[in-house]
Structure 1
Amino acid sequence: MNSASPTYSTLQELVVSDKIYKDKSVKMLSLILQMEHTKSYGSPGIFLITRPRGFGLSLVAKSVEKILERDRETICKIEDEGLLREIPQRHCIKLDFKKIKGADTKEFTHSLLNNLQEQFWLNHIETHLDTYATPKFYLSKLIDTLFKRYKEQLVIIIDNYDIPIANAMLMENSEMTLECVCIYLDMLNVLKTAVSQVKWVMLTGHIKFALANEFSEGLPFVQDLSNEKSLETLFGLTLNEIEESYHTQIEKFAHDRNMSIEEYLKAVDKCYGNFAFSDSLIKVLCPACIAHVLNNNGLLLPYSATANYPIVKKLLSNEFVDLSYLYDKDGQDPLFSNSIDITVEKKQLASLLIQLGFATRARVLLNTDEGYTTWRYRFEMPNLDMQATFLMLKNELPEDYLTKELDYSTKNSAEGN
């Protein structure tokens, strides 16, 4: 058993397996139609979707690209209920900023340029990397060249859009951080002005960063779809989906532990479930963790603790951090919808923890007074896996904890402060 092994291949098999993919395909097509038909004024429609790590955002982004470009293997697999006919075929530029890094401004800029240069190669566009040109120039040239080639509006998909900003935040020099963020935001600003060339843009990532500041216009108007009811189960797996699609494996795992199927599923849910991404509070489980469970003969280990959360670890290292207000307290604002600045202050840490899956909404309270409605929330640690990961980041659990099964027999209590 190797709890730290990469999950991409197994997660793809899990999320895009025939049964699950067909179940999610109508939701995915509806998402594309929503982005296609949302009216924009003076700029392309720019949409943001965030989820915690392990929820298959990259796989969905890739699927959206294949659907738009009518990839035969993908189209044959989905059940579209006639929706596909309503979606025009479009050429896509798909960028993935997962590997963007750099210890200083020069390295950061070079990393962005290399990423864009790869797109020129993939699209057979002749160009030479000019060290004096900016990422903004190269993105603009890429869009303009492909628009002229295809003579129709493009769709741009940026996966892991948040990684460049997250990387810049880890730089020791705050001025360098700001400079790198502004370089990135200036590059993204090309999307705002490409209204004649780009139909819409989809950004996917784990953190909802502010994409404009006083130094760079960036993308001031981004439509955040992350908390819409229509997407609440698109990126996660419900307990029923797991039971129905992987019944044979679940039955074996339960038998090996002298448990009933119902008891084992409750344990799985306590370990990896209880995430809610809309006010309907429909609960879903983390697909990456379920992929690990299926690959590791049903072992319920703290799989998320092997992930990298450098920003959270850095912020939690402050001995004065107080999160007593966040967990199990009624009457809170919709913190999940807040944008994160490059200097995380006050309740932005709570928003960051919610967006990364270390807290989830557990209760929604509506108060209507003379025609004015307010929403208040209660947040809690979603499950044992995220609780263990949180404690690991605070250096409150030993490393060998990764090899021990989660104690799903005990009450799932959040230790949030």
Structure 2
Amino acid sequence: MQVKLIRVKGMNFFENTSHQSFSDLILGENIYIDKTSQIANLYKKHNKFEILIRPWGFGKTLLLDTIKFIFTNGVEHSFIRNLNIATMDMEIPKQTVLKLDFSDRKIQSAEGFRSFIYSYYKSYLFEQNIQVKLNSELNTYWLTMHFIRAVARTSPTGQIVFLIDNYDQPFLRFLEDRVVNFPALYNEMLDFYHALYDQVEYIDWLLLCGETKFALSTEKHEGLPYISDVSYSDQGTCICGFSQGDIRKYYDDFLQDEADANEETVNIFLGKITDWYGRYRFTPHNIPVTRPYSIKSYFSQNAGSTALRSFYPVERFYSFLPKLIAKYGRNHERLLAPNDCGYTFSDNLDPYNINMFSLLSQLGFYSFSSITLSKVSSCFQRYRYQSNMVNNEMNECYQKILAMAEKLRNRGKQTAS
């Protein structure tokens, strides 16, 4: 079986959403941008607990589905044998993979989270014919403790890979005023994470993905006290997002046709596209990447036209971003520089102490225009950042949000007077 590289206008492109599974890619005739070598390099240097933050539309779900497929089937699978990971001199062990998605609508309360976790555990044990009965009266911590042990015993390695998609969705729902008692929900989630921490011997790799970074441990609830942020690591540079090389490799014919039609070179035409949809940087190497969803939409929907427009669904932020900007401003001067664990956009999840620039950066509105790395000593490194609006697509979206924020400010002034 070979991976097809389809280079025609109107091509099928595997959607980077949870609405399709990895099996759809294998069975259908879709372009697949091969990121398996990046996955292998990430796993080669992985820590037990890791987190990867990328804006919406960067293919985080597809990344996790790919990881699950690789560990479940092994590199000897006919599809995997044709990908870059099969040429690498390293061992990827077959082992049990668990994947949770916290975007489930049940998770809007502590009770909803516990119900979601219990239902997943019960269904998984039944489907895998694992003869363990979970006591429905147990709390989230002990449910997770018993479940992890039971599943790990059935894994070929005695350990599991645990993947969590959209881990930050409960907190974003809180910003949208869709969670009534967030402290209770947050504590319930911390109990879940603390159980994973206490079962470290049974976990080979825990990888969380989301758009935003928030704390998984507090002084009162230990939660997951240590997690390595790979969002700014060398291994995570292009693991989500299309590099210039990816675009040239998979869309070369399209680029050449459109460049010829506009009497431009391919490099000039590609530069215009990346000005609109690219220029995201996540490492000191200053390697820019492009949002997969936007570039896919442009190439598949703009056949015969080079008009550049926004494909980003900015409406998803209307319920809370204008309110936050109207209240806090943009706080551009308050960027918290990432350290070994990255940075959060609020202190201790306090909704009244939000670093708006950190939030906007993580959501994809701003990106580092340059990242300079210097060594302070053999043990410490220092980063200098310069940031600006990432591209024209996000600038269009941001202007809409700013206009809404201004209306809210004016409405507040009228009410006060």
**What is the TM-score when the length of structure 1 is the normalising length?**
0.78
Q: Out of 53, 61, 64, which is 1:50 matched to?
A: 53
What residue identity is the alignment partner of 1:20?
Answer: I
State how far apart, in whole Å, the 2-side matches of 1:248 and 1:204 are: 33
**Cα deviations by residue, 1:329-369 (Å, 9 ceiling, x for unpaired):** xxx65258212442245563221211121111112345677
Residue in 1 that maps onto 2:40: 29
Written as runs of structure 1 = structure 2, the 5 A alignment for 1:246-265 is 246-254=251-259, 260-265=265-270
Q: In the alignment, is the contact (CA less than 8 A) between 1:333 and 1:375 conserved in 2? A: no
Unmatched 5+ stretches in structure 2:
1-9, 406-417
Instruction: Give deviations 1:89-130, integer Å, cap 9, x for gaps.
Output: 221112222224455443444344444444334434467886
Residue matched to 2:391: 383
CA distance in 1, matches of 2:327, 2:338: 23
**Contact 1:7–1:292 (CA under 8 A) maintained in structure 2:** no
Deviations 1:113-152, CA, capped at 9 Å, x for gaps: 4444443344344678866443333333321221223361
> CA, structure 1 residues 305+366, in 2 after alignment: closer, same or farther (shift >3 Å)?
same
Instruction: Please list, as runs of the form range in 1=range in 2, the aligned pairs for 1:16-415 lying within 5 A after superposition.
Output: 20-21=33-34, 24-35=35-46, 38=47, 45-70=48-73, 72-80=77-85, 82-83=87-88, 85-125=90-130, 132-150=137-155, 152-171=158-177, 176-254=181-259, 260-298=265-303, 299-306=307-314, 308-309=316-317, 313=321, 315-325=323-333, 334=337, 337-340=342-345, 341-344=348-351, 346=353, 348-365=355-372, 374-396=382-404
Contact 1:312 1:393 in 2 (8 A): no
Q: Quick one: structure 1 residues 185 and 210, their matched pair in 2 at CA, closer, same or farther if it must change by over 3 Å?
A: same
- Paired residues in the alignment total 377
Secondary structure of the residue that 2:232 maps to in structure 1? coil
Match of 2:43, SS state, is helix
RMSD: 3.5
Query: Is the partner of 2:316 in helix, strand or coil?
Result: coil
Q: Can you list the C-alpha shifts for 1:5-31, whole angstroms capped at 9, x where unaligned?
A: x763799869x967731xx32221111
**CA distance in structure 2 between the partners assigned to 1:46 and 1:123 by the alignment:** 25
Counterpart code for 1:28: I
Query: Residue 144 of structure 2 aligns to a residue in which SS?
Result: helix
Amino acid corresponding to residue 96 of structure 2 in structure 1: H
Give the letter aligned to residue 160 of structure 2.
L
- What's the CA shift for 1:390? 2.0
Contact in 2 for aligned 1:159/1:203 (Cα 8 Å): yes
How big is each residue's C-alpha offset from its partner over 1:381-414, in whole Å with a ceiling of 9 and x where there is no partner? Answer: 11011112222333459xxxxxxxxxxxxxxxxx
TM-score by length of 2: 0.78
Structure 2 residue aligned with 1:404 = none
Letter in 1 for 2:82: K
Taking a change above 3 Å as real, the CA distance of residues 368 and 95 of structure 1, as seen in their structure-2 partners, is: closer
> Any unmatched runs of 5+ in structure 1?
39-44, 327-331, 398-417
For residues 376 and 164 of structure 2, what CA distance do their matches in structure 1 show?
41
Aligned 8 A contact 1:185 1:218 in 2:
yes
* Overall identity of the aligned pairs, in %: 20
How far apart in 1 are the matches of 2:78 and 2:122? Answer: 28
Q: Answer whether contact 1:100 1:108 (CA < 8 A) is retained.
A: no
Name the structure 2 match of 1:42.
none
In 1: Cα distance, 2:286 partner to 2:349 partner: 30
Secondary structure of 2:173's aligned partner: helix
- Structure 1 residue 34: Cα displacement: 1.4
**Residues 38-88 of structure 1: CA deviation (Å, up to 9, x unaligned):** 4xxxxxx11111111111111111111111122524422312365364222
Q: Secondary structure at the match of 1:93?
A: strand
